[in-house]
């Protein structure tokens, strides 16, 4: 590629110039652009002061500080979903924008202009801007004038009305004496909209050592998924993902013989950045995907597997409140449950994550259907989002992400534990393994009673659920426990931001829930025959194992957790075809018990509760 050649020429001593590219997407949290993009997201009307440290298209820190110094009104989400593929702007960047207006009749708000400042700039470099904005479905002229001011000033107008192709290009601006450049958007001279609407959708920033005459970037293409190690089922729909710049169309191909031969899947629009593909009926362990366009090609880094679709499902159901429901992150895709679902389903299409969480929930809301609610508790059981519903949906495993709302409502620790007991009994009786998160940090202000409830529930959760507890507390909250650390606070003192949700995702993933669910379901076909009895199950302290086929007077019992670790191994006496077994110090949870007698081994799921 041209940029690589230029870099090599500079490295070996030739005179040349290097260009650095950065991409900025302006809009809302529901439509950000993935990859090495700078997403500038506002959450309220007339917001300003928002800052970001810009990264370039390789993800490197540019040392440039972005500040939203002149507020817009808010967000417009009616831009084009089909930008010209030759542009460096994907549909996620073109579909929404910031907007302002100069007349107050729209919503009583007036923003004569809107804009941002770039600071910490190098006065010896040149900064060029290619600006895209779009407002679909209109018939008037909404021309927007973009003015870029540094040591010099230049302007260019663009009409966003039904725009899919055009950009405003302002080239070779050098910073002022303070190392700053300011971009301002306002209505252009031909704007005839009655409110004076103007827009700012996306910007390509080019930094160069010498003046440039063209903003067209080199084509870039990279396959992001699949890149090897995945398992797909025939007939399932999977999303091929890529990052591209200036690639109008690309070819998608599939190979089931490690690249020896290829079959065409589709031709896709490059700016879409993804294509939903139905997995072909080609059973193989040597599958690859290849994408090509503008003379560039990228292929899966390693092979993956395609298997028959036999209807096997590893279903994990999430119950909980606003954190599990996705409140806090700038983009829902950054919330821990959504990250978890994407990770699992891209790894193996047999996984399914069902999220039943709803903001505001407490433990009472997810109690078993029909449970009486105590007098004075203003809660109702949501029968479509509770533990009974999770059992009805045939969960292979359940994750509960509560209970800061219980503490905020003043529900005592004893009441929360009682509720958890009812919930876990239902899961245990259905032979469904259950994981429960600790409370997460929250700002309770001066209410020390509610704070102490929250703090006490941390230890009690570990006591009740042992190894099946997921840590949503450590290193996320203030030292005194009252509040979220500033670097993890979404801004309201209650919900956590993108960075914190990534940590939560990693902790859930690290707990191995998905492995345990897969192992538990995979062992079903090897369970005991109906001759075998283990009672009671769930086991509180001791149980009796009975099998008319026992031979002799001794059998070996081994117990494994759902991650495959052996946690018990012992020989036991057989009396009248029965064995008495005690759990000892084993934590509550779901295990697999294997009994070996007379060279025959049989396995059964064991619930300790």
What would the CATH number be for the domain defined by 19-208?
2.60.120
- Supply 173's token pair: 């601006």
- Give the span between the Cα atoms of 524 and 327, in whole angstroms: 37
Mean pLDDT of the 213-237 span: 92
SS3 (DSSP) at 449: helix
- Give the span between the Cα atoms of 373 and 465, in whole angstroms: 23
pLDDT at position 522 is 62
Mean pLDDT of the 515-532 span: 62
Q: 323-356+367-520: what fold? A: Rossmann fold (3.40.50)
CATH level 2 (architecture), domain 220-307: Sandwich (2.60)
pLDDT at position 422 is 94
- Give the span between the Cα atoms of 394 and 280, in whole angstroms: 28
Place 523 in a pLDDT band, splitting at 50, 70 and 90: low
Place 28 in a pLDDT band, splitting at 50, 70 and 90: confident
Q: Look at residue 466 and tell me whether its pLDDT is greater than 60.
A: yes
Give yes or no on whether 323-356+367-520 and 526-608 have one common fold.
no
Asked if residues 404 and 494 have their Cβ atoms less than 8 Å apart, the reply is yes
Q: Look at residue 604 and tell me whether its pLDDT is greater than 90.
A: no
Residues 6+ apart with CB under 8 A from 309: 233, 234, 235, 236
Mean pLDDT of the chain: 90
- Supply 572's token pair: 């036991």
What would the CATH number be for the domain defined by 526-608?
2.60.40.3080
Q: Look at residue 531 and tell me whether its pLDDT is greater than 80.
A: no
Report domain extents, the chain.
Answer: 19-208, 220-307, 323-356+367-520, 526-608
User: What's the pTM value of the predicted model, to 2 decimals?
Assistant: 0.72
- Supply 312's token pair: 């096997």
For residue 577, count other CB atoms closer than 10 A to its CB: 14
Distances (CA, A) of 547 to 144, 366, 533: 82, 38, 6
More confident call, 483 vs 519: 483
- Give the span between the Cα atoms of 454 and 494, in whole angstroms: 13
Mean pLDDT of the 149-160 span: 96
SS3 (DSSP) at 521: helix
Report the 3 state secondary structure along 272-288.
HCEEEEECCCCCEEEEE
Rg (CA), the chain: 30
Q: Look at residue 215 and tell me whether its pLDDT is greater than 90.
A: no
- Give the span between the Cα atoms of 37 and 88, in whole angstroms: 11
Pairing mode of beta strands 19-27, 202-208:
antiparallel
Q: Look at residue 9 and tell me whether its pLDDT is greater than 80.
A: no
- Supply 151's token pair: 């040591």
Distances (CA, A) of 270 to 249, 323, 342: 5, 34, 22
For the stretch 264-305, pLDDT in tens is 999 998 888 899 999 999 999 999 999 999 999 999 999 999
For the stretch 381-411, pLDDT in tens is 999 999 999 999 999 999 999 989 999 999 9
Q: Is the peptide bond before 564 cis (omega within 30 degrees of 0)?
A: no
Place 40 in a pLDDT band, splitting at 50, 70 and 90: very high
Place 368 in a pLDDT band, splitting at 50, 70 and 90: very high
SS3 (DSSP) at 243: strand
- Give the span between the Cα atoms of 519 and 603, in whole angstroms: 13
- Give the span between the Cα atoms of 16 and 8, in whole angstroms: 10
């Amino acid at each position: 590629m041209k940029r690589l050649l230029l870099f090599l020429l500079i490295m070996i001593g030739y005179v040349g110039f290097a260009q650095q590219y950065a991409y900025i997407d302006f809009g809302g949290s529901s439509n950000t652009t993935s990859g090495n993009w700078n997403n500038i997201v506002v959450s309220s009307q007339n917001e300003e002061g928002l800052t970001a440290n810009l990264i370039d298209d390789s993800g490197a820190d540019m040392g440039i500080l972005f500040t939203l110094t002149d507020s817009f009104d808010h967000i417009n989400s009616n831009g084009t979903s089909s930008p010209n593929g030759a542009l460096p702007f994907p549909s996620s960047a073109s579909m929404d924008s910031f907007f302002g207006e100069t007349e107050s009749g729209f919503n009583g708000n007036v923003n004569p202009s809107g804009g941002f400042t770039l600071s910490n700039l190098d006065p010896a470099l040149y900064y060029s801007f290619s600006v895209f904005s779009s407002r679909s479905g209109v018939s008037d002229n909404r021309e927007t004038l973009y003015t870029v001011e540094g040591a010099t000033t230049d302007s260019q107008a663009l009409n966003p009305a039904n725009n899919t192709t055009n950009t405003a290009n302002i080239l070779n601006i050098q910073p002022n004496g303070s190392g700053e450049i300011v971009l301002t958007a306002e209505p252009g001279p031909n704007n005839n909209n009655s409110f004076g609407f103007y827009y700012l959708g996306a910007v390509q920033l080019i930094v160069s050592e010498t003046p440039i005459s063209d903003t067209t970037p080199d084509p870039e293409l990279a396959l992001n998924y699949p890149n090897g190690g995945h398992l797909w089922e025939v007939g399932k729909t999977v999303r091929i993902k890529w990052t591209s710049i200036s690639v109008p169309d690309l070819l998608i191909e599939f190979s089931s013989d490690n690249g020896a031969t290829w079959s065409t899947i589709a031709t896709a629009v490059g700016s879409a950045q993804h294509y939903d593909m139905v997995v072909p009926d080609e059973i193989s362990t040597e599958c690859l995907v290849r994408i090509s366009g503008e003379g560039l090609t990228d292929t899966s880094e390693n092979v993956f597997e395609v298997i028959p679709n036999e209807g096997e499902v590893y279903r994990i159901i999430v119950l909980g409140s606003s954190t599990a429901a996705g409140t806090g992150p700038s983009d829902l895709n950054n919330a821990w449950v959504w990250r978890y679902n994407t990770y699992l389903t891209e790894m193996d299409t047999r996984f399914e994550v069902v999220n039943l969480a709803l903001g505001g929930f407490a433990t009472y809301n997810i109690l078993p259907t029909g449970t009486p609610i105590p007098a004075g508790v203003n809660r109702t059981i949501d029968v479509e989002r509770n533990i009974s519903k999770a059992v009805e949906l045939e969960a292979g495993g359940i994750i509960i992400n509560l209970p800061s709302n219980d503490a905020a409502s003043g529900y005592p620790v004893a009441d929360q534990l009682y509720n958890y007991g009812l919930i876990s009994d239902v899961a245990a009786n259905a032979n469904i393994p259950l994981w429960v998160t600790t409370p997460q940090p929250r700002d309770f202000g001066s209410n020390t009673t509610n704070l102490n409830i929250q703090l006490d529930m941390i230890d009690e959760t570990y006591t009740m659920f042992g190894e099946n507890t997921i840590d949503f507390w450590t290193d996320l909250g203030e030292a005194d426990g009252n509040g979220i650390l500033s670097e993890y606070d979404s801004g309201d003192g209650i919900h956590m931001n993108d960075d914190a949700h990534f940590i939560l995702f990693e902790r859930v993933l690290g707990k191995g829930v998905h492995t345990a669910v897969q192992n538990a379901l995979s062992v079903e076909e090897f369970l005991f025959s109906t001759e075998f009895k283990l009672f009671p199950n769930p086991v509180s302290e001791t149980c009796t194992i009975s099998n008319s086929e026992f031979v002799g007077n001794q059998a070996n019992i081994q117990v494994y957790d759902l991650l495959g670790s052996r946690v018990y191994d012992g020989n036991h006496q057989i009396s009248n075809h029965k064995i008495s077994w005690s759990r000892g110090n084993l934590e509550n949870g779901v295990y697999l018990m294997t009994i070996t007698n007379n060279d025959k081994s049989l396995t059964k799921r064991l619930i300790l509760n």
